[in-house]
Structure 1
Amino acid sequence: MNSSFLRQPELPSDAFLRALRARLPHEAVERAVMPSGVEVIGVSVARGKVFAVWDEWRKRHGETGWWPYVTLQSPDDLARSRRQEDVDEVVERWVAEVACQDHDARAASVVLSSFRWSMDCAAGDEEDQEGWRDDYDPDRLAPQLAPARAEPLPGVSRWGTGDRDSFWGQSQRWINFVPVRGGYEVPAVLPHLYGTCNWFGYDGRVLTPADDAALLRRWHEQWGAELFLAQGPYLELVVDRPPLDPRDAARATSELQGYCSDTVQRPQHDGDTWLRSTVWSLWWD
């Protein structure tokens, strides 16, 4: 694809492939070209080693230009699953929109849309509406949360590393690499890679890849959140600087609820627990 918006990596694909094979000589490495022309390179890794390998290569993103994410799909599997029709134009449009948009404003619009939908559903029930205001307004939610923590809670990956793996029995994970400016651009280059494409139940409130990218970029800038795993309806972020004080935790809680209400169902509890940890696991039901 010839696009002024598509990231050109520091290491061309052949050079990056050689570097990956040199670093992981005993692992299966694959390369595939998506219908859009975007190349994806992947390496199969034992799930117990996934975080160490992912962390090493995300720290090298500045020198390679290839962002790693964990999944069950090999590059070939991913290429076969991509939609064929008009895919060049779709990816071109999403990448251009993500590169140019005001991501903070777009993220705020996603949260506001979710709040308005919730209020409409509770129309006529003042008690329910007050409850939604408590959940979505950080000024109202923060006083209900626990005091600031000195250190983040230890995050536990539910699906990437297998520490709480109850239904993905495979011993291997794929770490796929995409040429993007950061993990927040992955949904634009690989549209509908994960869960929000299944969000059809809210009167047309279907999120787009540009919405995904806006929230991911905002959380990256605010709390150091990085795309770690993307698989079907599942998403995991590694969070380097999670919100530790009540105000920031309340803000994160309202934004996560607006994006993925299937995960944030108890805002007070969630704002005091996993949202102050180093791993955020989201899923769309």
Structure 2
Amino acid sequence: MQPLPSVLAGQPTLGNVQEVVFQSHIVLTFSVAGQEALPVWQQLTEQHGDTGLWPVITGPRPFAPSRVTPVSFAGNLQGPDLIAHWLVGEQEDPELVTEIGPLVLSLEEAQQHAGSVAQDALVPASWQEGVVSNQDWRTRQPYPQVFLALVPTQATWDAPTWLGFGRFNGCPLPAEHHAVLKYWHDQYSLQVMCVTEDMVECRVERPPTEAAQALVLATEQFAYCPDLVHQGCGSVTELAGGLLRSPTWSFWWD
């Protein structure tokens, strides 16, 4: 078994260490006490430059390789092109657009609707407050035990792809996650934090600070994960308000 990063050497709650073997790579997984998951994740990100292993919280259960899709990367796929393609069907339904709000991909067009974006939406005060994959949603308390995976990649946006995440319940393919998350990383300094059975959570170091920018991003996120609106906030403008200055993003496909 390959060695664990040195930061884990003194971790008293470390357990369940195992290797998950893919066709082209190996992912180390382990568990820690739930309240330790976020500090351990942060420490591992700080060692990433030395280890080449990007940490991902996978929730209260071990990573399940039986659910993975064969790993593939984006090739010539580009995030903006995928987003525009996904939106085509949505924009052809005028009733839907009326119901969920404007779908805009340019700042110029977004400026026309920026006044409908709430400027005072409640957002997490810190990225630690925004994470949910480490806790029981019913109690908002950390799980007794939380699992993490160490993904062999230099690029945080590649973590879902290396884990074979996607192709279920309308979830994008692994290669599509690569393209879209890289695009957002370049714009907003996104870091993938959590990849559970049906959710991706990200830390964002440069979130949008202007309403028009947030509205474009909300449209992009709706294309990537329609349930954010359909099962969540109800409109793209509401989603945009929640993205303003928010240090975390969550996506789910259930």
Contact 1:71 1:175 in 2 (8 A): yes
Q: 1:101 to 1:166 in 2, by over 3 A?
A: farther
Where in structure 1 do 4 or more consecutive aligned residues deviate above 6 Å? none
**Secondary structure of the structure 2 residue equivalent to 1:197:** coil
Match for residue 110 of structure 1? 82
Q: 1:173 to 1:275 in 2, by over 3 A?
A: farther
Structure 2 counterpart of 1:161, from 111, 120, 134 = 134
Contact 1:253 1:275 in 2 (8 A): no
Cα separation, 2, equivalents of 1:31 and 1:197 = 26
Indicate yes or no: 2:109 matched with 1:134.
Answer: no
Q: Gaps spanning 5+ residues in structure 1: where?
A: 1-12, 84-89, 200-205
Cα separation, 2, equivalents of 1:246 and 1:41 = 41
Which has the larger share of strand? 2
- Structure 1 residue 134: Cα displacement: 1.8
Q: 1:67 to 1:228 in 2, by over 3 A?
A: same
Match for residue 14 of structure 1? 2
Match for residue 50 of structure 1? 37
- Structure 1 residue 81: Cα displacement: 4.3
Q: 1:282 to 1:168 in 2, by over 3 A?
A: farther
Match for residue 21 of structure 2? 34
Cα separation, 2, equivalents of 1:69 and 1:136 = 32
Cα separation, 1, equivalents of 2:89 and 2:183 = 22
**Secondary structure of the structure 1 residue equivalent to 2:208:** coil
- Structure 1 residue 158: Cα displacement: 4.9
Indicate yes or no: 2:215 matched with 1:228.
Answer: no
Q: Deviations over 1:145-170 (max 9, x none)?
A: 24699x98545335223285559984
RMSD across aligned positions (CA): 3.1
Match for residue 281 of structure 1? 250
Indicate yes or no: 2:155 matched with 1:182.
Answer: yes
Contact 1:145 1:271 in 2 (8 A): yes
Q: Which amino acid aligns with 2:246?
A: S
Q: Which has the larger radius of gyration?
A: 1
Q: 1:52 to 1:261 in 2, by over 3 A?
A: same
Q: Which amino acid aligns with 2:153?
A: V
**Secondary structure of the structure 1 residue equivalent to 2:194:** strand
Q: Which amino acid aligns with 2:26?
A: E
Q: 1:80 to 1:197 in 2, by over 3 A?
A: closer
Q: How many residues align?
A: 243
Q: Deviations over 1:177-209 (max 9, x none)?
A: 010122211232222x25x5221xxxxxx6321
**Secondary structure of the structure 1 residue equivalent to 2:83:** helix
Q: 1:135 to 1:166 in 2, by over 3 A?
A: farther
Which has the larger share of helix? 1
Structure 2 counterpart of 1:198, from 149, 169, 191 = 169
Cα separation, 2, equivalents of 1:275 and 1:284 = 23
Q: Deviations over 1:192-239 (max 9, x none)?
A: x25x5221xxxxxx6321111111111111111111111122111111
- Structure 1 residue 38: Cα displacement: 1.7
Q: 1:136 to 1:256 in 2, by over 3 A?
A: same
Q: Gaps spanning 5+ residues in structure 2: where?
A: none
Match for residue 59 of structure 1? 46
Contact 2:55 2:148 in 1 (8 A): yes
- Structure 1 residue 135: Cα displacement: 2.7
Structure 2 counterpart of 1:78, from 51, 54, 64 = 64
Q: 1:82 to 1:233 in 2, by over 3 A?
A: closer
